[in-house]
Structure 1
Amino acid sequence: MDFTLVEEQQMLADLVGRFVEKEYSFEARRKLSATPRGWSELHWNTLADMGLLALNVPDEYGGMNAGVAETMIVMEALGRGLVLEPYLSTAVLGARLISHAGTDAQKERWLPELAAGRVKTALATLEPGARFDLSTVTTAARSSSEGFVIDGRKGVVLHGDSADLLLVSARTSGAQDDTTGITLFAIDPKTPGVTLRGFPALDGQRVAEVHFSGVSIASEAVLGVIGNGYGLLEWTVDHGLFALCAEAVGTMAKLAEMTYDYLRTRTQFGRPIGEFQALQHRAADILTAVEQARSVVYFAASRLAGADADERRRALSAAKNLIGRCGRFVGQQAVQLHGGMGMTEELPVGWYFKRLTCIDMTWGDAEHHLERYGTHL
């Protein structure tokens, strides 16, 4: 796969870069994260007007039917600004899952609205006590005369409190750890029995705890095949992992740039501290880590759309593992090279490190994906 940007891709990168530079100064982001919603409806509409929400939607439903490279370009740019809007949850996870597994009626109902920014989605899959295991599902979906009745809990649902549509994994058969018997559902969060509690995560992004108590839904809410949703869920999460890895590259690159600027401007003993050889070596190590991370994202992109599921999973786990380790290294070095200021909330450095930490913990940290890689050898 050739990752040299063609003219249209470079224009896309420039477009998103200008948006981030204009709208996401550090102070503007701090104020925005402190609002009850935690993100800007105006920014969301701007993303829709720019066509970014339509990238992963098929063209017959008002989208652009873009590829993996376009998602990588956008997510890397958003990572540079620590963008708060629910782009990953909606324009990547929601768009990919519904486009891939939805019925014609589901696609016609939701995809045009999603591309226009009028529908936001959230993937509700991880449960309390399950850690990162997608197959540990205790949320139950019982058959009823009208369709299904759902009971259970989902934790740390990215932007769950902003969603107009919850994409939920529930068990229709089998034991709680079986990969078979899992079904995916599209549920309106306003349905009686659905309770959401939203709160800010460590990095300022919004997450939610979701509780289902006797939630009655129609059979038309099923996504894919009943009882055979695990493979679809893993495929969707792999696309989310790839997007997170691309975002982390942008976050690390921006953090490195801020650190280099500080080394050039901070003086000690009458000289910029960047002239001291020991700190130059550490700066070089940061650059090496960033480029390693970028390379592994390119590798994951080349395997993401392949037909071999095991190869895809190995590539995504390898990328997530290396991204987690590189992100931790770059964040630690940036904080240490900034000295005491690096620990304060008034400096952007700490917030970039927090975001990298949260990316590492989303859908499996570095150690989890090292184990996952081994299971798919």
Structure 2
Amino acid sequence: MRTALRALPLLVSAALLATAATACTSGDDTPADATSASTPAAPKLTPALSDAQARAVITNYSKINNKANAQRDRALLDTVEDGPTYAMSVSDYTETEGLPKAARKPYKPWSYDISSAKLYIPRFTAGQDRWFAAALSGEKGKDPSRIAVFAERPKDKRWEMSTVVDLDSTKLPDIALDGSGYATAVAATGNKQLAADADVLRTAVIDNFATGGTNTGTKVFAPTRASNQQIKVHEETTRKFGKLGTTTFAGGTNRFKDAYALKTADGGALLLFAHTHTQTDAVAHSGLQINPDKDDNAWLHGIPRTSVTYTFICADAATVPAKAAPSRLIGYRCARTDASGPPVGSARTDRA
């Protein structure tokens, strides 16, 4: 009889207790009416939308999201979600559909508490892609514990949630606001005014998983609960099989390169970005096999494997200083979106 190893993919979230003017454009700190006799007037900056309109976007999101989730309606969900958020939601649908009907938990409707939502609405020039960020709570009366970005899709005349991150704590970043209460969007990539941009942060996050932060993770990030949790995932997961198998992490193909940044009161920025990483479990030698967990049924169909590669899509948030100093990873959220591996070509055995 073959000795069986149990596949234990780590689905982690930085909610340990319970936004670049666009991805490619930068904000402008120059007042819209700043002019001089020798220079042309700066492009006029106007708010992405009003406070009331932003709250209506969030309310509509909760309503449509509930309706889509109840039926696992991907097309309907696609009208209010985009980017990594949509990909992670669809993976949850897929995982649920892989379970026997009796094992599927009844869906419980929810909504974001609009009264406690904190809005960060930037100003943009004509032609720039518009977006805004919001700190949100899913429980009435509770402080916000998530930060989300809603981006406009002009072609479809709608706003969609592009990314959402679970935060380490309810203490929010100190976003810089102008005299009218509007935030300032800054470039998330290639920004020389920041200690690190989205590309550097993404590489460091992946290194936390891949090496425990040895190469760049602990150099780019100061210790935080979120960063420490990623390192803990590396340390515990790579040892879980002992001498019977191995686990390795690596960066994956990232389809979601959009990143968003807001200027903070200290001159730095809050950055929200996405990354993709893989986790590969493999048996140490012939005669061993990995028996997929029931939550893997949608992808692995209960067939024993000699190795399994899981793909995770994640959303991350970090505060970055303007000076050369470590950044702080303040939250992240991951979902398994795929799993594959070669079958052993034999009947399933009992789990170890």
TM-score band by shorter chain is: under 0.3
Bigger RCO of structures 1 and 2 (CA < 8 A, at least 6 apart): 2
Q: With structure 1 as the length reference, what TM-score do the two structures score?
A: 0.22
Q: With structure 2 as the length reference, what TM-score do the two structures score?
A: 0.23
- Structure with greater Cα Rg: 2
Q: Which structure has more helix as a fraction of its residues?
A: 1
Q: Which structure has more strand as a fraction of its residues?
A: 2
